[in-house]
Structure 1
Amino acid sequence: MTDTPTARLVLHPITPAEAARIVAHTPDAGDRWHPEYPFEDELAPLKSLAASAAPDPVFTMGPGSRFRRAANAA
């Protein structure tokens, strides 16, 4: 899966492995998460994605899947 850049945002598909890192609050060096991410209402869908065994799960979510280009923060 690849990022999709737009004029203002970078749309970033979240993999099950990345969802597990987000839920566990263990970012990799290149991750650009806001320090308060994930928000409480995002935990259930992220946990569901993290548990997915599908090789390319269909998953859509708000703030965590897009980043402002200039600020480099969700």
Structure 2
Amino acid sequence: MDDLVTERLLLHPLSLVEAERVAAGEPEDGDRWAPGYPADGDMVGARRYLTTCAITGDPRPFGAYEIRLREDGRAIGGLGFHGAPDEDLGVTIGYGLIPSAHGRGYASEAVRALLGFARARGITSVQGDTDHDNTASQRVMAAVGMRLVAQDERLKYYRIDFERADDRRAG
């Protein structure tokens, strides 16, 4: 599968071998990781992807992606799907960047690209969540069109719904 390309980023689909290296935090020669990558969230995401592959098979293209800078190919974070679409063609996503990449619009750019990718493949809804005190992530989800749909004592839950192609034709 090819990288997803945005103006400033490459969203690189992780292979199982790459995911194992990210999960362990152990690069090999040729890996271009920015200082601080992978962060804890990147390692958790890679482990989730590996667990999904072991239990239900590889969900690609609905797997894990590494966020890389186009200018030099360095990995600065990760994002991806928490597994294959559900029976209603909904998916859940997660994302994160190393601290040195915060505040530059990279998260919004990456999530916007992932939403477009999902929509182009017939996904009807995308969900995500964040801690109450993670206002940066809340701003990202709002900026890409996701809306707050629920919250509990720990998390705020966001969602965006897409029209199905057959729904657009019926109107």
TM class by shorter chain equals 0.5 to 0.7
Greater shift in the superposed pair: 6-15 or 25-34:
25-34
Distance 1:42 1:20 in 2: 11
TM-score by length of 2: 0.35
Distance 1:43 1:25 in 2: 7
**Which residue identity lines up with residue 67 of structure 2 in the other structure?**
R
Q: Give me the identity figure in percent.
A: 31
**In the superposition, relative to structure 1, how do residues 29 and 5 fare at CA in structure 2: closer, same or farther (>3 Å)?**
farther
Query: Residues 1-74 of structure 1: matches in 2 within 5 Å?
Result: 1-51=1-51, 52-53=53-54, 54-57=57-60, 58-60=62-64, 65-73=66-74, 74=76
Distance 1:70 1:25 in 2: 23
Q: Structure 1, unaligned stretches of length 5 or more?
A: none
Higher relative contact order (CA 8 A, sep 6+): 1
- Segments of 4+ moved more than 3 angstroms: none
Q: Secondary structure at the match of 2:43?
A: helix
RMSD of aligned Cα (Å): 2.2
- Once the two structures are superposed, residues 15-50 of structure 1 have per-residue CA deviations (whole angstroms, 9 ceiling, x without a partner) of 222111112222232222223112122322211212
**Which residue identity lines up with residue 44 of structure 2 in the other structure?**
A
- 8 Å CA contact 1:15–1:49 kept in 2: the answer is no
- 8 Å CA contact 1:17–1:50 kept in 2: the answer is no
Distance 1:40 1:25 in 2: 9
Distance 1:25 1:40 in 2: 9
Aligned residue-pair number: 71
- 8 Å CA contact 1:10–1:67 kept in 2: the answer is yes
Distance 1:46 1:12 in 2: 13
Structure number with larger C-alpha Rg: 2
